Structures are given as C-alpha cells and as structure tokens.
Amino acid sequence: MRILFALFDKRDSFNITVQLKPSNSFTRYLPPPEDSERWGYRLIDAGRQQVSPGQAYPPPGHPLPYRFDTKKGRALQEFQVVFITRGGGSFQSQSCPASRVESGDALVLFPGEWHRYAPAQDTGWDECWLGFDGPQARQLMEAFFSPKAPVLRGSFRSELIQAFDQLLAWMQRPVPGIEQITASHIPLILALLRAGSQQAQAKSRTDAELVLTAKARLLQNLQERTDLEGIARELGVSYTRLRTLFRQHTGYAPRAFENLIKLNRARDMLASGERNVGATADALGFTSVHYFSRAFKKQFGLAPMDWLRQERGRVEHISR
C-alpha cells in the first residue's frame, strides 16, 4: 500500500512521500487556502487506511500533531470524522464512556476534546476520515452534533463510502479550485451522517416497539405453547428477524424468554400450594412433568420438589 502525505505550513509548502502497505491507503494534509473563511468550509486532511488483525495502531508516518498513544489518547485542533468500513474496535472520549465500534459506525471528533480509539486486535479495521474546520462547518457541528454522542450508528454506509471515494479521488487531481471542490464534500458527508443517524434511531425505536408487542403476546396465555412464527407473521417480519431483535433487546431468544416467564410463574404457584408439581406443569403448558422438572432444575438449581422443601424450610425458620 502507498500512503502519500503532503505537509504544509502557511508560509511555505513541501511534500513528503512515505511508502507503506497495503496499496489502496491514501492520506493527505492540506495547506489552508486563502479564502477558506469566506468559503465557509476548510478541508484540512483526509485519507483511508487498512489495519490488519494484530497490526500496531495507529500506523507510523502521520505528522506529529496527529500522532497519539491509544492508552493516553489525544486532543485535536480540528473536527474529524472517522468512518469504519470493516472490522470493529473501541472508542472513548472526555464526554463519552468506552463504547464498542462496529463496521458502519462513524466517530465524530471535536476540537480540544480528549479521545482515544483503536481497532480490535482480532479483527483490525478499515477506516476513512476527514479533518475540517470553517465558520459554516462550525455552525453545522454545533447545531446537529454533540461531543456527548460521538459514535454514530448510521444507515447510509454505501453512500458514505462513495462520498469518501470521490473526495479522495479529487484530492489527487491538481486542478484549479480543488480546495473548494474537496471542501464541498464536508457538508455532504455531515448530512449523510446526520440523516443516517436519525434513520437508525427511528428504526431502533420501531424495533423496540416490535419486541414489546411480542413480549405482551407471550404473556397473554401461559397455558399454551406460543406460536412464535404466528406472532412474527402478525408483526410483519420473518421469525428469524423477530428472534434476532428479541435477543438484542432482552438477551433471550423468544422461546427461552417464554420458558423463563413460565418457570417463574411455576415457582409462585408451587410456593403458594396452589397446585402440585404435575398440575403446575399442566397449567403452564409443559409437555410432560419430566420436561418441566428438568427445565426447572436448570433454571433454579433444584428440582421442583427439592426447591419446594427448601422454600418451606426457609419460611418455617423465619416464622419461629
């Protein structure tokens, strides 16, 4: 891979080329154009890089102001967007506790805000990023983004990849007005991040409502074995989708959640003397006393009769 760095200061400019691998990495740091304040957006740097599993991060070669130790972190003097296109890792900042980062997530960094992030050792990650500033950029960032929510779970992955690809392609074309052309990608990328985040939040709320409805249906009739595929059809999703969402929101598959509800109810019924073990199993729709006893022991550590004797002994001891 070749990584190309172009480093500048306001008085002069010079180029430094560094040969690294793999071949589709590209990084460039730009001089400040004279009319950047009037244009409203200033692109400062942008690039992409691949980090293989187990590879040191960050790779060497970046200018001193951009280097950081993943244990100590850093603070930048610009806004940055870091978009993860493969793999996963972690992120933490002054305003955000340690968070998991996955493919499709974007990290939004703010000037002066301490932060650190790194890919997981077992997966590595691929990233695209851009650094920027300018009066219009600052207005957008203050109005629509927050240091308290720097990890954006977006929905426009392919569009963002395309926008970054176009930006990096333009950065390699030395044409008049290139500063303005490349800077025009800043509001586009921010708009995609904002819209994608809103869509992801709305989808998350919809998914949560779907799971709540499914949970209510599971509670409706504990005497029957619920038709889970029928619930999925009623909710307009496949059973695979329902099962995935249910596990994400509750930590249990639907059938396991239903059994847990029934076993907790069984414990209450046994403790009250309402029914014996066989009648309790029948009342809660278990196919056999043997299956009920095995499930009860797996959940609570004791067979139903052993648990009942222990519970009665505990109550008698307290009542003395």
- pLDDT tens profile 167-188: 999 998 888 888 899 999 999 9
**pTM for the whole thing?**
0.61
Judge whether residue 209 has pLDDT over 90: no
pLDDT tens column, 79-113: 999 999 999 999 999 999 999 999 999 999 999 99
Judge whether residue 205 has pLDDT over 80: no
Distance CA 213, CA 243 (A): 13
Q: Categorize the per-residue pLDDT at 114 as very low, low, confident or very high, splitting at 50, 70 and 90.
A: very high
Tokens 């851009």 found at = 130
| Cα pseudo-dihedral 28, 34, 40, 43, rounded to 10 | 0
Judge whether residue 137 has pLDDT over 50: yes
Dump the DSSP string for the chain: -EEEEEEE-SS-EEEEEEE-SSTT-EEEE-PPPTTHHHHS-EEEEEEEEEE-TT--SSPTTS-GGG--BTTTBB--SSEEEEEEEEEEEEEEETTEEEEEEETTEEEEE-TT--EEEEE-TTT-EEEEEEEEE-HHHHHHHHHH--TTS-EEE-S-HHHHHHHHHHHHHHHT---TTHHHHHHTHHHHHHHHHHHHHHHHHHHHHHHHHHHHHHHHHHHH-TTS---HHHHHHHHTS-HHHHHHHHHHHHSS-HHHHHHHHHHHHHHHHHHHTSS-HHHHHHHTT-S-HHHHHHHHHHHHSS-HHHHHHHHHHHHHHHH-
Confidence (pLDDT) at 144: 93
Judge whether residue 5 has pLDDT over 60: no
Q: Categorize the per-residue pLDDT at 223 as very low, low, confident or very high, splitting at 50, 70 and 90.
A: confident
Whether 2-200 and 221-320 share one fold: the answer is no
CATH for 2-200, options being 3.30.365.10, 2.40.400.10, 1.10.3720.10, 2.60.120.280: 2.60.120.280
Give the fold, CATH level 3, of 221-320.
Answer: Arc Repressor Mutant, subunit A (1.10.10)
Average pLDDT, the chain: 84
Average pLDDT over residues 235-257: 89
Contacts of 234 (CB under 8 A, 6+ apart): 217
Beta bridge partners of 96: 93
Name the residue ranges covered by the structural domains of the chain. Answer: 2-200, 221-320
304: closest CA among 274, 271, 282? 271
Q: Categorize the per-residue pLDDT at 7 as very low, low, confident or very high, splitting at 50, 70 and 90.
A: very low
Confidence (pLDDT) at 16: 33
